């Protein structure tokens, strides 16, 4: 776009073209810059959490905020374990979460398969009943469930969190959808080869719904690792707490004194979910979108 061209009175389109280029460039880059600024605002609290968790206790809550970890006060992480039984709580969270995930995978795979591929009287009615229970929020049942668990002597044990979480209407629905996508011809050829009903399920169908199992496992892991409401009600002794309650208690102890220690606890609680996100984000995102397909 030289001055020569511009001077040519007959060529109006060149100026117009330049205008188009400018607005095209603006239209292309302004949103990106805006997104970029917003992404910084969204990540900032996490970066601040991490760098503050490594600052020396007494000046961890001061302004101006520092963004780079400069002190490397690793002792904050050790102090978490002195203030609350954090080692015990990590084990509790792990047992509760994995117990629930494994239980859900087994029970939902069986039920999802039954609803998708087996015929029996009352199947569709039962399916609708299961589906309807997805509408029931935990708060609507928490009082009777608590009384039941107390009568069974399970309050203040990890079982009080695992057992009620294993039956999953959502997981059953999700895996049913996956089983339905598998062509029925596979089953017929399996029967020809003399497979019995259990082998059909276990050897032929189950390996083919592995992506569905991964989606359920990851969504369920995230949900139960981060749970707060049920543990708060069902557990009493902090030796039995999961880390969400541990962090809550830690925050109560430290007030605004050394927030670095509290944030060290937060950082540690995030490690497993971030690891799982890195390995299985494909399944996590698929899981979120799966839910929306059928409204």
Partner 1 sequence: MTTAKGASDGGGLWHWLMQDTMDGLRRRRAILGYMFLLPTLLGIFIFTAGPVFVSFGLSLFRWNIFKPPDYVELANYERLLGDVRIAISFGNTLKFTVLAVATQVSIGLLLAMGVHRITQTAMRYYFRTAFFLPLLMSGAAVAVVMGYIFHKEFGPLNYYLGLMGVQQIPWKTSADWVLITIVIMSAWRNLGFTFVLFLGGLSNISREVLDAADVDGAQGFRRLWSVTIPLLSPQILFAAVTGVIGAVQVFEEPFIMTRGGPGNASRTAVMVLYEAAFKNIEYGYGSAIAVVLFLVILAFTLVQMWMSRRWVFYQ
The token pair at 182 is: 């598998």
Residue 14 or 49: which CB sits closer to partner 1? 49
* Residue 216 binding partner 1, by CB under 8 A: no
Minimum Å gap between C-beta 53 and partner 1 is 10
Longest dimension (CA), the chain: 93
* Stretch 36-75 residues interacting with partner 1 (CB under 8 A): 38-39, 42-46, 48-49, 52, 61-65
Cβ contact 175:109 at 8 Å? yes
DSSP 220-265: HHHHHHT--HHHHHH--STTS--HHHHHHHHHHHHTTS-HHHHHHH
* Stretch 226-265 residues interacting with partner 1 (CB under 8 A): 226-229, 232-233, 244-245, 247-248, 251, 256, 259, 262-263
* Stretch 91-110 residues interacting with partner 1 (CB under 8 A): 106-108, 110
Residue 14 or 195: which CB sits closer to partner 1? 195
Residue 15 or 288: which CB sits closer to partner 1? 288
Cα(177)–Cα(189) distance, integer angstroms: 22
Contact pattern from residue 14 through residue 43 relative to partner 1, giving x for each residue in contact according to CB under 8 A and a dash for the rest = --------------x--xx-xx--xx--xx
* Residue 270 binding partner 1, by CB under 8 A: yes
- Residues 144-149: contacts with CB under 8 Å, at least 24 apart: 146/233, 146/234, 149/234
Cα(200)–Cα(190) distance, integer angstroms: 7
C-alpha to C-alpha distances, 61 to 51, 147, 179, 235, nearest whole angstrom? 12, 42, 53, 31
Minimum Å gap between C-beta 11 and partner 1 is 26
Kindly provide the b/e burial profile for residues 104-131, where b requires at least 16 CB atoms within 10 angstroms of the residue's own CB: bbebbbebbbbbbbeeeeeeeeebeebe
The token pair at 258 is: 């050394």
Q: What is the dihedral of CA 15, 19, 22, 23, to 10 degrees?
A: -170
Minimum Å gap between C-beta 40 and partner 1 is 8
Residue 14 or 77: which CB sits closer to partner 1? 77
* Stretch 145-174 residues interacting with partner 1 (CB under 8 A): 145-148, 163-164, 166-169, 172
Minimum Å gap between C-beta 99 and partner 1 is 14
Minimum Å gap between C-beta 288 and partner 1 is 5
Residue 13 or 139: which CB sits closer to partner 1? 139
Residue 3 or 271: which CB sits closer to partner 1? 271
* Residue 194 binding partner 1, by CB under 8 A: no
* Residue 9 binding partner 1, by CB under 8 A: no
């Amino acid at each position: 776009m030289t001055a020569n061209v511009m001077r040519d009175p007959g060529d109006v389109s060149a100026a117009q073209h330049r205008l188009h280029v400018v607005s095209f460039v603006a239209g292309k880059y302004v949103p990106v810059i805006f997104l970029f600024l917003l992404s910084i605002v969204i990540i900032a609290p996490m970066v601040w959490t991490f760098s503050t968790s490594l600052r020396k206790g007494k000046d961890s809550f001061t302004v101006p905020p520092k963004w780079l970890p400069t002190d490397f006060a690793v002792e904050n992480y050790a102090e978490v374990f002195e203030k609350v039984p954090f080692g015990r709580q990590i084990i509790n969270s792990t047992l509760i979460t994995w117990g629930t995930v494994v239980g859900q995978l087994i029970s939902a795979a069986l039920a999802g398969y039954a609803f998708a591929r087996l015929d029996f009287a009352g199947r569709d009615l039962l399916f609708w009943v299961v589906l309807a229970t997805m509408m029931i929020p935990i708060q609507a049942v928490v009082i009777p469930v608590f009384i039941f668990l107390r009568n069974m002597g399970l309050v203040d044990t990890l079982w009080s969190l695992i057992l009620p979480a294993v039956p999953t209407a959502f997981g059953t629905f999700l895996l049913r959808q996956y089983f339905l996508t598998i062509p029925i011809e596979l089953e017929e050829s399996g029967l020809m080869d003399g497979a019995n009903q259990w082998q059909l399920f276990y050897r032929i169908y189950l390996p083919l719904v592995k992506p569905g199992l991964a989606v359920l496992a990851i969504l369920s892991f995230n949900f139960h690792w981060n749970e707060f409401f049920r543990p708060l009600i069902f557990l009493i002794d902090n030796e039995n707490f999961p880390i969400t309650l541990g962090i809550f208690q830690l925050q109560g102890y430290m007030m605004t004194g050394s927030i670095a220690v509290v944030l060290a606890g937060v950082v540690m609680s995030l490690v497993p979910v971030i690891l799982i996100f890195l390995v299985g984000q494909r399944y996590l995102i698929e899981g979120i979108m799966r839910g929306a397909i059928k409204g």
